[in-house]
Copies of this chain bind each other. A is one copy, B any other.
Amino acid sequence: MHPRTRAHARLACAAALCALAAPVSLPADEGMWLFNALPVERLAARYGFTPSAQWTHRVMRSACRLSSGGSGSFVSPDGLVLTNHHVGAAVLHKLSTPERNLLKDGFVARSPAEELLCPDLEIIALAQIEDVTARVNGEVPPGADAAAAFEARRGAIARIEQESQDATGLRSEVMTLYRGGLYHLYRYERYDEVTLVMAPEEAAAFFGGDRDNFEFPRFDLDVCLFRVRRNGAPAKIEHYLTLRRAPLAEGELVFVAGHPGATQRLYTLDHMRFLRDVEMPFRLTELNRREIALQQFALGSAEDARIARDDLFGIQNARKAFRGILAGLLDPRVLAAKAAAEAALRAKVAGDPGLGAALDDWDAIAQSLAVLRGFYGEYQALEVGLAFWSRLYGHALALVRLAAEKEKPNETRLPGYRESDLASLLLRLHSPAPIHPALEQAKLAHSLAVFATTFGGEHPLVRTVLDGKAPEARAADLVGGTALGRPEVRKELAAGGAAAIAASTDAMIVLARTVDPYARAVRKRYEDLYQSVERERYGRIASALFAVHGTDLYPDATYSLRLAYGTVKGTAGPGAPVPFATTIGGAFQRSDAAGGREPYELPASWLAARARLALDTPLNFTCTADIIGGNSGSPVLDRDANLVGVIFDGNRDSLIWDIVYMEDPGRAVAVAAPAILETLAKVYGADAILRELASGGR
């Protein structure tokens, strides 16, 4: 299934656009379009459909994004949110105890009073978009170099966000689109009081497990329901979606409104090679190491397996996704197509200085990548934090930085520590979600050992961090010597500011204080030597693309709300054709064929309901809409903006969509709305929820 937002910070994604081919030859269903720049001509020409302003507004306002990493939609006037089980899984994990395993056993609230308050889940919903490009660029002093321009824009963005937030009370975020081609201010409604309403058992939500992940046919009820609230009461929601009971027809036009995380479709050829030869191998190596480490930890006991489950799932999922991307990058046809498209654009640029770019732009990106390669591991270890694989350390560093950044003017603070970011930051810092010391210790010991061997045991910072001890012993000292597992301690330190941090003798705070200057230094190098160059040069290349191809372009995904479209469609398959839909009955057949054994063990609730269920109810389906990780939980809509499904995966051939969209045989995979209604009624007896879902309409 699609990764929640990626486990590691991703290289800031390049400005998008389809760089492999001229837009006129975009595959018909390619594109993750901005809601204020929908491809109306394409839709009209191909599907005879023109979204009305009302349609667009309703769809945009019904979509939402979850801080656990994924998309969702409002499905009732009383704040019910429908998303994926795997988007909610981190929350289910946090709400679980040795005695109450919500991941394994599922959960159904029979009434709003039975719903469970989620420890630190935040849901935001896009309310307004405003183009602020002129103001952002207007604050760059004439003649500024790339690093200075980067700084100036960052200051402008901080001011715009803060002004907007002060004026409207809405969470305000300036999105960099086309890597500097456009800057749009996104204003969101923000909900930080969320309750869990319903989740099926993991055996139903993740039927087929790691084995069937990113495959089709599938039989997964990968959904769960939350509710946003205000002061304890269900929030009133004006725009929401209604689930359609009627099955989809093959070839039907559908839309996906969600938050794709990051694509790299505009990357230059050299940047693709960096992805292939540096970034993807680096990440896969790290994921493999971590997967083995967590598997070993989980062998300890059933309880160890339970507490490691959420981390392990995220890693396995990312590993499978990255392998797919790497496989694409290693396919010479993909890079050959990129090379051809790049050569064509470079030829145009060479012949016309008026396009706003120069051949030097490609070279500058290549050079900055060569420089980045030299400290990529250091950046990942210290600033992305791979050396300190620990939630406690994450809290410690956030507290140390919060104290330091609050002393600075708002517009010069690190991203994540500006006034407009503080509510979300404090929600995380104050979270009562349990932190498991044994798991923390195992993860930290693992990552410290990797850090030591990567940098070499004699590296001064390694010596400082390890403090004369072996990684296992040092991890035990750190986890044993910190009180940051207690939310009240974090709350006190957050409130105490720089003085409290300076005075703290908490082992993890002391470590974060020690590491922070090194992390900041490598971050500065990253920004000055790579990120600012990238933004400047990709911005110029984007200008050339605009000049050559006009505005029938979409930006690379940036975790902002987008509309994709496509048709309900199966695949030709390597052997026999694969139909577009599976059914509830198919899940039982698959389980029977496997003797009911893992990963095809249906939960007791399903087995008990077998005779009652309409077995021909569609369960999962595929369509051609252009989606990637971050789209998990996105509503799939029909022409009338009824909810017909919930995106939860792509097939194996869609994994390459991070770098290039190829319609066949890639497919997005969704849970079909009829299966949600059927199982809520007959498996989960969720009558109150069904009444609420129906209250809005058909």
Contact = CB atoms under 8 A, between A and B. Distances in A.
Interface stretch (A107-115, A132-140, A272-280): A272-280
Given A273-B458, A299-B210, A458-B273, A281 B330 contact: no
Copies in the complex: 2
Contacts of A292: 288, 291-292, 319
A419 interface: no
Contacts of A300: 211
A408 interface: no
B454 A281 contact: yes
Given A285-B289, A288-B289, A299-B210, A331 B453 contact: no
Contacts of A619: none
B457 A335 contact: yes
A331 B471 CA distance: 8
Interface string A433-460: 0000000000000000110111011100
Interface string A454-498: 101110000000101111110000000000000000000000000
A456 B281 CA distance: 10
Given A273-B456, A273-B457, A453-B276, A470 B289 contact: no
A327 interface: yes
A332 interface: yes
A326 interface: yes
B299 A211 contact: yes
A488 to B, nearest CB: 32
Interface string A229-267: 000000000000000000000000000000000000000
Contacts of A331: 470, 473
Contacts of A291: 288, 292
A292 B329 CA distance: 20
A597 B282 CA distance: 37
A449 B327 contact: yes
Nearest to A281: B453
Contact of A449 (B330, B466, B469): B330
A478 to B, nearest CB: 15
Contacts of A335: 457
A563 to B, nearest CB: 32
A295 to B, nearest CB: 9
A5 B192 CA distance: 57
A475 to B, nearest CB: 11
Contact of A330 (B276, B277, B326, B471): B471
Contacts of A319: 292
A468 B210 contact: no
Question: Among A277, A327, A454, A468, which residue has the most Cβ atoms of chain B within 10 A?
Answer: A277
B469 A332 contact: yes
Contacts of A471: 327, 330
A450 B323 CA distance: 11
Contacts of A210: 299
Nearest to A319: B292
Interface string A555-592: 00000000000000000000000000000000000000
B273 A330 contact: no
Contacts of A453: 276-277, 280-281, 326, 330
A649 to B, nearest CB: 17
A466 B299 CA distance: 39
Interface in A267-307: 273, 276-277, 280-281, 284-285, 288-289, 291-292, 299-300
A575 to B, nearest CB: 15
Contacts of A327: 449, 470-472
16 contacts: A210-B299, A211-B299, A273-B456, A276-B453, A285-B288, A288-B292, A291-B292, A292-B292, A326-B449, A327-B449, A330-B449, A330-B453, A330-B457, A330-B471, A331-B473, A335-B457
Given A281-B450, A285-B289, A288-B291, 5 more contacts: A273-B456, A273-B457, A277-B453, A330-B449, A332-B466
Task: Report, nearest first, the 8 A-B pairs whose CB atoms are least far apart.
Answer: A331-B470, A281-B453, A211-B299, A288-B288, A277-B456, A288-B292, A288-B289, A330-B470
